[in-house]
A and B are shown apart, each in its own frame.
Chain A
Amino acid sequence: MATLTDSRKRELRRELETIVGPDAVLSDPDELLVYESDGLTLFRALADFVVFPTSTEHVSAVVKLANRERLPFVARGAGTGLSGGCLPAEGGVVISLMRMNRVLEVDYDNQLAVVEPGLVNLHLSWKVGPRGYYYAPDPSSQQACTIGGNIANNSGGPHTLKYGVTTNHVLGLQVVMPDGEIVWLGGRTRDAQGYDLAGVFVGSEGTFGIATKIVVRILKKPQAVKTVLAVFDQIDRASAAVSAVIARGLVPAAMEMIDHLTIQAVEDAFNCGYPRDADAALLIELDGLAVGMEGQLERIVEACRDAGARETRTAKSESERQLLWKGRKSAFGAYGRVSPAYMVMDGVIPRTKLPYVLSRVNEIVAAHGLRVGNVFHAGDGNLHPNILYDPRKPGEEERVVAAGAEIMKVCAEVGGSISGEHGIGLEKSDFMPFIFSAADLTLMQRLKNAFNPTGLCNPGKIFPTKKSCVEVGPVAYRPHAIEEKGLAQRF
C-alpha cells in the first residue's frame, strides 16, 4: 500500500467529512496514536483516518470511498479486543462504531432486540432488565465491550457453559459488505433461508463486512440463581472437581477457575471475598427454577468436596454474588496491580485434559523466566493463562511471545483450539497451522473471497502470513489420494 501524501490526505479528509460530518473524522497524528492498540498492547498500528459514522448509510459511503481509493478499512468498537483484531494493520481507515449505540427496538413477545453495533453489551441487559429479560452472552469485558465487537469475535463469557456463545444468540444482521452494499443476513426468525450467512458472519473477525444492525435474542431472567465458591489447596483438585461435576450429569450455568496469583490481584482491587491463601477457587453458578435448586446445589457441593475442596461457601446475598463476579470479571485488569503488562492467552482444551495442560502451562512460563496467572472458563475447557511481563525490560516481550506459542502448541496437541473467544486477529494468525491444514485454510480463504474479494476489509488478520498457501486465487494443484494410489490420473 502506498503512503498517502499530505495533500491527498487533506482531500480525503474533506471527502470523509462530507459523509460523516466535520466532527467525526480524525487525522491528527496525536489522535491517531491513541488508536494504535486495542486491549492487547503488544501490537500497534496506525491508521490514516478514524471516522465516526452514525448510520448504515454513512458506513456504506465510507466503505465505498475506501474501495475507490483502494484504502484498507477496519471496524472498531470499544477496542477491548485481545487479539489485535481491530487494528489497522495496513493503514487506511478505522471505522469506529461508538456513535452507533442505540437499542433500536425491543420485541418482548418474540424475545428479541434490534441494536446498533456500538451498543455496550451490558447496556442491553440494563435496557431489558426491568422487564425481566437479559442478553445472555457475558464476556468479562461486558461493561465496556460492544455487541458489534462481540459479533466479530463470537464472544463467549462465563455463562457460555449453559447458554452458548454470541452466535447462538444472533438471529440476523444488517451488514455493509466489503464493497459497500447493504445486505440483511438472517432476520428476525430462527431460521434464515439458504446458507446460514449470519452464522458464518459471526466470528469472521470483521473480514466479511461491517454489521450495522443486529437482531439478538433476549432471554427471560432465571427464577433463581445460586453461586458457590469452592476453595482448593491444590489446583489439580479444582480441575478434578470440574470433571466430577460434569460426570454427575450436572451442567451449571458457569464454572470458573481462579488461581492463587489472580486471587491476590482481584482481592487487592475490590476485596471480593476470595480466600487469599487458596491455591485455586472454582466459582460455580446454578440458575433456573427455584424448586429443586437446593438439591442440585448439594450435588455440586458434594462433587467438589469429593474432589478435595477445602471448603465451599454459597453467596448469601445478591451483593455478595455480584462481588464475586466483579472479581472474576475484572481479573484481567486487576493484573495491573501485580504487573505493568500481561498477555492473555485463549486456548481451549477438552475438559478432561485440564490438569495436564495447566501443569504444562506453568512449566513453560517458568522456563521462560516469567509469571503466569490463570483465570478461566473451566467448565468449557477455555483457558486464559495471563503471562505477566514488563515491556520496559529488554527481551521480555519476545519471551512472552515464545511462551505463548508453546502454550498454543500444547492446546493443539491435546485436540484443542488456539482460541475460544478472543479471536485470531493479528496475534495468532501464525498459529493457525497448529490446528488447520493447508486444505482447511484454503477453504476458509475461498469463503473470504466470496465476501471480501478485494481483501480491503480488515486485511492481515486470521490467515498466517508466513505461507503463500492462503493467497487469493485458484488453489494449487494437489494430487488426489486415488491418483497417488495409481487408481486414476489427471489429463
Chain B
Amino acid sequence: MRNNIKVERAKNDMTQAKLAELAEVSRQTINAMELSKYVPSTVLALKLAKIFGRDVQELFELEDKDWK
C-alpha cells in the first residue's frame, strides 16, 4: 500500500512528533507508516485523513501486491 503521509506532513510543515501527538499514537508508528513498514488501522487512517483535511483515498492507495 502506498501512502502520502510524508508529503502531506511536509505540505503542512509538521514534524513526525507533532503528527503523532495529533493522531494520538507514538512517533515510531508515524515513522513506520511512512516507511511502509506498518499498515494503520481504519480508525488511524481516518484520523490522519481528518488531520490533513483530505480524503482517506488521497492518503492511501492500494497496490497490486496488496492482492494475494
Genuine A/B complex? no
Q: A-side interface residues toward B, CB under 8 Å? A: none
Interface residues of B (CB under 8 A from A): none
